[in-house]
Amino acid sequence: MMGFEITDEFLGTFVPIVVYWVYSAMYICLGSLDKYRLHSRIDEDEKNLVTKSTVVKGVLLQQTLQAIIAVLLFKITGSDADAGMTQQFSVLVLARQFIIAMLVIDTWQYFIHRYMHLNKFLYKHIHSQHHRLVVPYAYGALYNHPLEGLLLDTIGGALSFLFSGMSPRTAIFFFSFATIKTVDDHCGLWLPGNPFHIFFSNNSAYHDVHHQLYGSKYNFSQPFFVMWDRILGTYLPYSLEKRANGGFETRPIKVSKDE
C-alpha cells in the first residue's frame, strides 16, 4: 500500500486554513474585552446583514474550493518538493521574497478590489457579500463570494508565489503570515502593543474605515501596505477616538465634497 506523503505543497495549502481558524479563535476570546473593540457587541449583532453561521459556512466553502484548486494546480504542474532543499537558505533572500510577494499581492488586490467597487454589477452580485459585514470580525475576514475568493486570494496568491520565486516551503510561512494579517485586519479590535498596528499603517482601524458607509470609496489597499491608496488618491485619513461607553471609534478626518 502506498503511504500518504505530507509534502510542502500540501502544508502550504492546508496550514494557512488551520492558522485562520486558530487565530480567529484567539480573537473570539479577546472580543469580550469591550475596552479594545472598534464597535460594540450590540452594533456587531444589529448592523451586520448576515448571520455568523452563514459567515462560517461561506468561509468553509471558499477554503474548500481554494484547497481543491491548489491541489489540482500542483497535480498539473508537478511537485516541486526538492525546491526548498536546493534553495540555499539566506535571510536576505527570504526577506526579498517576502517583500516581493507582499508588493505583488497588494498591487493585485488593490486594483481588483477597487474595480469591484467601481463596477456596479460586480459590486452588487459579488463584492457586496463581503460588505454585509458592516462591523468586521476575525473569522469573517474571508467571507467573500467564491468568485471573489478565486480572483483576489487564489490568483493573487499564485502571482505572488511565482513572481517572488519562493519555494513551496517558504510559501507555507508566507501564506500563513498573510492569513494572520488578513484576520487581524478584520478583527474589530485595537489592542495595545499589537505588532501589526506598530509596523503597518494598513491595520484593523484602517480597514474598518473601508467597511463603513463613509469609507466605501476609500482605503482599498489590502492586506499589507497603503501605498496604492496614497498614490491614487483613495487614502482616507482617520482619527481613533475613545467611546464614552468603552472601546474605540474610527472617524474620518476629511471626506471629499462629493461624498
pLDDT of amino acid 88: 61
pLDDT over 90 at 24, yes or no: yes
Strand stretches in 105-234, DSSP E: none
61-92 confidence digits (pLDDT tens) = 999 999 998 888 777 765 555 554 555 668 89
Max CA distance (Å), the chain? 69
Cell 488551520 -> residue: 18
Across the range 26-40, mean pLDDT stands at: 89
C-alpha cell at 23: 487565530
The residue type found at 141 is A
124-158 confidence digits (pLDDT tens) = 999 999 999 999 999 999 999 999 999 999 999 99
142-199 confidence digits (pLDDT tens) = 999 999 999 999 999 999 999 999 988 899 999 999 999 999 999 999 999 999 999 9
C-alpha cell at 82: 526538492
Helices 156-164 and 91-118 sit at what angle, rounded to 10 degrees? 150
pLDDT over 60 at 257, yes or no: no
**Contact by Cβ (8 Å): 188, 101:** no
Give the three-state DSSP class for 250: strand
Read off the pTM: 0.90
pLDDT of amino acid 10: 84
Question: In the structure, how many helices (H) and strands (E) does the chain have?
Answer: 12, 2
pLDDT of amino acid 107: 98
Rounded to 10 degrees, the C-alpha dihedral 245/214/56/193 comes to: -50
The residue type found at 181 is K
- Stated length of the chain: 259
C-alpha cell at 179: 492569513
DSSP 215: G
pLDDT over 60 at 247, yes or no: yes
**Contact by Cβ (8 Å): 133, 145:** no
At 1, the pLDDT band (50, 70, 90 cuts) reads very low
What's the chain's average pLDDT?
90
What's the distance, CA 155 to chain centroid?
14
- Closest listed residue to residue 43, CA positions, set 259, 211, 214: 211
